[in-house]
Amino acid sequence: MTDTSRHIPPTVYPSGLTLEELAALFPEEPLYRAKQIFKWISKGIESFDSMTNIPQPLRERLSERFDGHPISSNIEKQLVDEDGSLKLQIRLRDGAAVECVLLEDIEGRKTACLSSQVGCPMGCAFCKTGTLGFLRNLGADEILEQFHLLRRLRGFISNVVFMGMGEPLLNLENVRRAIALLSNHEGIGMSTRKITISTSGIVPGILDLAAHGPIVRLAVSLTSANPELRTHLMPVNKTWPLETLKSALLEYQRVTRDRITLEVVLIDTMNTSEHDAIALAEWIAPLKVQVNLIAWNPIEGMAFKTPSTAQVKQFAEILDHNGIVTIPRMNRGRGVMGACGQLGDTLKAQE
């Protein structure tokens, strides 16, 4: 029998371990012990001593294996917006930092917006995170620790979106593992229908998701159907231009039969005209999509301007007239720099 525990890096904390991997750490223990431990870890416990149905000697071994703490990340700063949004700055065990956000809608649904990388390599011109540079990918444990820390403060979380710092499809292995752990019925048990991956348009990652899953909600930051403007705002368009991206989305839709969300950040005088809206509608056909219109959120040091409510409304009306489901999004979290594109305002550029 292979000792799979030898293949678990010592730096991986319990939140990133599967039930099978936890069992392999203590092969002499009955399987039900691993299930008990897995359930406790899935609750985001603060101490191994909280595992009241686990024998003390096993708790001590767990504590020794993981430096005394089930979670390796720490909340360094928490900010609460007047709309109730919560932003956390989290210090990771190697000293790097990320931010995550908890958003609550008017019906009380709570959504955790999780980061997948320290910084971001994509360099989107309108996004604060893109100015930080890129340090490294987050492990599945570090991704899930954000979820646990948000849940400690706000209770039950119904949805997860990978829309925080970083490009999730450039860290697909760890994001995929995090989703598997989130959706495991022995633990958190979140439906994959409640999980969204947002990408700037990483075509190989989209095709990988289509071929190998998991089948989650897919959102794509598009911003413009004008190739030159999209390249200016989103350098990813140089590598995977609009038509290549569209082909990948058609394949994803063929496999999953799911509607895709297109995120359009509207920037005054740049992509808010009638011509821009018509071009977007023409590009979308024959995709089945929902378009989320996001008025650009102010970021210190950037010269862009937020469009008026009238501009957003006119843009939405044009898309609606073309039969495209369109939702102007509320900019929750803006007051604490936790809205779309604002994450990273309290962090220094990555070295």
pLDDT at position 8 is 52
Please tell me the distance from the alpha carbon of residue 63 to that of residue 36, in angstroms, as a whole number.
16
Is it the case that residue 6 has pLDDT exceeding 80?
A: no
Q: What are the pLDDT digits (tens) for 186-224? A: 999 999 999 999 999 999 999 999 999 999 999 999 999
The phi, psi pair for 193, rounded to 5°, reads -70, -15
Token pair 């000697």 in the structure block, residue: 57
The whole-angstrom separation of Cα 119 and Cα 321 is 39
- Token look-up 């995977």 returns 240
Q: Which two tokens stand for residue 62?
A: 């767990």
How buried is 300 (Cβ within 10 angstroms: 0-12 exposed, 13-18 middle, 19+ buried)? exposed
Catalytic residue list contains 274: no
**Residue 114 identity:** L
Q: What per-residue string of b and e applies to 189-227 under the rule 16 or more CB within 10 Å gives b?
A: ebebebbbbbbbbbbebbbebbeeeeebbbbbbbbbbbe
Identical fold, 4-65 and 74-336: no
- The pLDDT value recorded for residue 10 is 53
Q: Is 167 a residue of the active site?
A: no
Confidence bin at 323 (pLDDT 50/70/90): very high
CATH number of 74-336: 3.20.20.70
The phi and psi torsions of 68 (rounded to 5 degrees) equal 90, -5
Q: Which of 99, 142, 145, 263 is catalytic?
A: 99
What percent of the chain has a predicted confidence (pLDDT) above 90?
87
Whether 143 shows a pLDDT value over 50: the answer reads yes
What CATH number has the domain spanning 4-65? 1.10.150
* Averaged pLDDT, 309-334: 92
Mean pLDDT for the stretch of residues 287-293: 97
Q: Which of 100, 113, 124, 340 is catalytic?
A: 340
Asked whether the predicted pLDDT for residue 7 surpasses 70, the reply is no
Burial of 291 (0-12, 13-18, 19+ CB in 10 A): buried
Boundaries of every domain in the chain = 4-65, 74-336
For 327, list phi and psi in degrees, rounded to 5: -130, 110
Hey, CA dihedral for 70, 76, 82, 86, is it positive or negative? negative
**pLDDT above 50: residue 129:** yes
pLDDT at 177 over 60: yes
Query: Which of 10-24, 99-113, 273-287, 325-339 has the least mean pLDDT?
Result: 325-339
- Residue count of the chain, please give it: 351
Supply 318's token pair: 């044009």
pLDDT of 301 strictly over 60: yes
| pLDDT, tens only, 65-107 | 999 999 999 999 999 999 899 999 999 999 999 999 999 988 8
